[in-house]
Structure 1
């Protein structure tokens, strides 16, 4: 029954629910003036999180779904960083004080494409304009193929205490198929170098569903990854959307695993990691029991944001850089995605906000249900509805997606608790989608359910 349902939903297009409502619902109705108002309402002592997007890489990985630009030269990167610094100063001035910060995440692209001195200066600016608390997590994404010894030293000297390494797969044939050749030695040397400079918390990103990938090669990649003992592993299903990401047309769709094989791959990866002592965190993350994610999950404090599963409990996330997404209690905002447009706005003294979404009370209630399902595989519908003043019956009565989930055994009601059956945890997005009132507007923009 489990494999039948997994296969049946394998082609379904559903959001990953790193936000609700999801980004396709953002519009220009939320602009720079709206965002400026939201920034001004942040409570003085309320910690926030910061995300900085550096949209540059040295080469294009054909599977990539990120907003990035290929640059062999350093000048465009330096120019972009100048604009990024101006944005940081502008946003900080709109807030009007050094807001406390608990989490900082450098993403991309390849944020370590910066020169060490540029990175040090950027972190110094953040510390000058914000109050980064002593126990804050400062995380950065790394391409092991391009990291340098000097950059590692700069990261450690700037307070970086978590590094996320793009691994994807160790299968050479698959690496050729996605234009990302990265040897085991390269990855292992980077892990060892990080630990030598004192950056002990290490994440790996793995992908299944890649061209020419097999169940066996997925398990072999996990086995190899475990020799380096990462604290966390994020395991994502490849989303093939060549109409949106033109470079994905370079991937031969004929050698992509079918839905049934994708199911086998994700199950095999999960089984191998759990057998090795990792806890499955939500849908697609695995962590050692003493890692912050494992602790947060055990305490029912796990959250979900644009970086995936997190122990970050800040209500506000401030995004910097082209295409960066942020959130306040009032709603979501996203910067201009095109670097030129982003730079033009900032250079003119304007916030880079291009679109966003103003949350309603109903949105917040639905978002709370979806987040708890995605994090805990259960949600107390009565408690959440009472908290947001929602009518329980209006959310559930006549809800065809939810009724189907009950009929197929994906979920059940236990008193006030809606619970996803543990054997069907890979289909949690199917149950969460039952509370998404906007889903039918843009189903093709989302990834496969498995």
Structure 2
């Protein structure tokens, strides 16, 4: 029965880190609109900053991020000058009306930055933004970039959470994705960050990789458990070579099929649960003490472009090439080209937005509903009505029809509440897609949902 479900429900769907999703952004939103939206932020607003460093010194073939390989530091230095200018521009536009409660450094490999540039970046951010007392500062790390001076620089920067990709510890799998990384290297990073007072460590693991098997999953999970991370993200490898050309380096004949992917995900999830990790959403796990677990239990879990999060800021400000921002009025995205980003920031007033989307009332309602499905696996029709008024009636009718037509009972109605059942949770992306009014317009291609 499960094999039949997997085969039927494997269709490509978004990961719903936003709604509407990025393929539906358009070039009708530019710097002018963005400037107006920033100036309109209310006094007392909270901000989340995402800083994108789009460089790596080695290109991992599985990667779905917007990044480019460089073996020289000069392009990074040049890029940082434009990044500093964008930070200054946005800081002046938001003024003293808002405070930062989260900062995330992503990539690419932000750990490529020199210790001196870590210090400079923090100084420039501090010159233009004020942080709340308990702001979370997180960074994505590549063990191959690191040494003692960089560990010290990240500690001085104020990092509170370190995120480290593991993928799979099997050497054959690593060779097939061009990501050599030993267990000893990984342990060294975890120990070094904890020794410097970083309170939370996150490890990312992938399933669905070439040559991966239940045996490699067993070994990788066992080693991850030995490192005792506070959080674990268990992502399915998204094979999208039409978007990420370097993925063509991966031998598709060695990729597991959809049935094997499902078995790998289920097996890893079971092992993590047996070792005391609380399951969160569709692909995260955390120790009971972690803030993500606490948010999940209290109904305060959120989802944004970084995945599941406790971040509830009023606005997400994307800084750097290709970064996406979310404001009360809608979404904005910077140009993905580092060259074009630098030109626009340096010559066109300090902003590099080239596309986005202004939210309608229906967008906001469906965004809330989809986020609650992705986070809580349920939503209340009365809360939907309380938030969005009579407009909610049409969506509630849709939900009733979807539940009534679901003979597999993956999505059901229970009085006031619509729920994704336990057996439906692996397919939550497919269920959420039923409420996506943009998906059927045929814009954008996505990875399989299983």
Place the TM-score, normalised by the shorter chain, in its bin.
over 0.9
Distance 1:393 1:97 in 2: 40
Q: Which SS does the other structure have where 2:79 is aligned?
A: helix
Q: Which residue of 1 aligns with 2:120?
A: 121
Aligned residue in 1 for 2:410 = 410
1:366 aligns with 2:388: no
CA separation in 1, counterparts of 2:253 and 2:14? 25
Match of 2:425 in 1: 425
Per the TM alignment, residue 313 of structure 1 is displaced from its structure 2 partner at its CA by: 0.9
- What secondary structure does 2:45 align onto? coil
The answer to whether residue 270 in structure 2 is matched with residue 271 in structure 1 is yes
User: Is it true that 1:58 corresponds to 2:57 in the alignment?
Assistant: yes
Task: Sort the Cα spacing of 1:122 and 1:46 in 2 relative to 1 into closer, same or farther, 3 A.
Answer: same
Q: Is the 8 A contact 2:403 2:413 kept in 1?
A: no
How big is the shift at 1:15? 0.6
1:129-208 matches, within 5 Å, as 129-208=128-207
What does residue 329 of structure 1 align with? 328
Matches within 5 A, 1:224-303: 224-303=223-302
Paired residue for 2:18? 19
Q: Distance in 1 between matches of 2:445 and 2:234?
A: 20
Aligned residues: 449
Q: What whole-Å deviation, never above 9, does each CA across 1:1-60 have from its counterpart, x for those lacking one?
A: 3443133222x1001000000000100111110010100111121111000000000011
Q: What is the CA-CA distance between 1:351 and the residue it aligns to? A: 1.1
1:382 and 1:392 in contact (8 A); partners too:
no
Greater Cα shift, 398-407 or 372-381: 398-407
Runs of at least 4 residues off by over 4 Å: 398-401
Q: Secondary structure of 1:164's partner?
A: strand
Q: For residue 90 of structure 1, report the CA deviation from its aligned partner.
A: 0.6
CA contact (8 A) 2:104 2:137 kept: yes
How far residue 94 of structure 1 moved from its aligned partner, in angstroms, is: 1.5
- Indicate how the Cα distance of structure 1 residues 156 and 409 shifts in structure 2: closer, same or farther if over 3 A, else same: same
| TM-aligned CA deviation for residue 350 of structure 1 | 3.8
Please give the alpha-carbon distance, in whole angstroms, between the structure 2 residues aligned to 1:441 and 1:296: 35
1:98 is displaced (CA, Å) by 6.3
Alignment check: 8 A CA contact 2:44 2:97 kept: no
CA distance in 1, matches of 2:389, 2:432: 20
Q: Displacement of 1:443 after TM fit?
A: 6.6
Match of 2:312 in 1: 313
Unaligned runs of 5+ in 1: none
Q: Does the CA contact (< 8 Å) of 2:203 and 2:231 recur in 1?
A: yes
**Alpha-carbon offset, residue 397 of structure 1:** 3.7
CA distance in 2, matches of 1:301, 1:443: 32
Mark the CA change 1:299 to 1:399 in structure 2 (over 3 Å): closer, same or farther.
Answer: closer
Question: Equivalent residue of 2:139, what SS?
Answer: strand
Q: Which residue in 2 is equivalent to 1:380?
A: 380
Asked if 2 retains the 8 angstrom alpha-carbon contact of 1:365 and 1:385, the reply is no
1-structure distance, mates of 2:313, 2:234: 24
Query: Partner of 1:73: helix, strand, or coil?
Result: coil
Q: Structure 1 residues 297 and 399 mapped into 2: Cα distance closer, same or farther (>3 Å)?
A: closer
CA–CA distance in 2 between the matches of 1:435 and 1:30? 25
Q: How big is each residue's C-alpha offset from its partner over 1:43-86, in whole Å with a ceiling of 9 and x where there is no partner?
A: 12111100000000001100011000101000000000111000
**How many angstroms does 1:393 deviate by?**
4.2
Q: Is the 8 A contact 1:32 1:353 kept in 2?
A: yes
Aligned to 1:145, the other structure's residue is in SS state helix
Q: For the structure 1 residues 337 and 405, does the alpha-carbon distance in structure 2 shift closer, same or farther, using more than 3 Å as the test?
A: farther
Post-superposition offset of 1:240:
0.9
Cα distance 1:186–1:396, how it changes in 2: closer, same or farther (>3 A)? Answer: same
Q: So what's the TM-score if we normalise by structure 2?
A: 0.97
Distance 1:387 1:400 in 2: 19
- Taking a change above 3 Å as real, the CA distance of residues 59 and 400 of structure 1, as seen in their structure-2 partners, is farther
Cα distance in structure 2, aligned partners of 1:99 and 1:160: 21
Q: Quickly say closer, same or farther: Cα 1:104–1:401, change in 2 above 3 A.
A: farther
Distance 2:346 2:400 in 1: 50
Instruction: Give the drift of 1:362.
Output: 0.9
Mapped to 2, the partners of 1:272 and 1:14 lie a distance apart of 27
Q: How far does residue 99 in structure 1 lie from its aligned partner after superposition?
A: 2.6
Contact 1:20 1:363 in 2 (8 A): yes
Q: Is the 8 A contact 1:326 1:334 kept in 2?
A: yes
| Contact 1:144 1:190 (C-alpha < 8 Å) held by counterparts | yes
Contact between 1:325 and 1:334, CA under 8 Å: does it hold in 2? yes
Please show how residues 36-55 of structure 1 align to structure 2 within 5 Å. 36-55=35-54
Counterpart CA distance in 2 for 1:253 and 1:231 is 33
Tell me, yes or no, if the aligned pair for 1:396 and 1:402 is still in contact at 8 Å. Answer: no
The TM-score with structure 1 as length reference comes to 0.97
The answer to whether residue 209 in structure 2 is matched with residue 210 in structure 1 is yes
Task: Write the distance in 2 (CA, Å) between the matches of 1:297 and 1:164.
Answer: 20
Distance of 1:442 and 1:221 partners within structure 2: 38
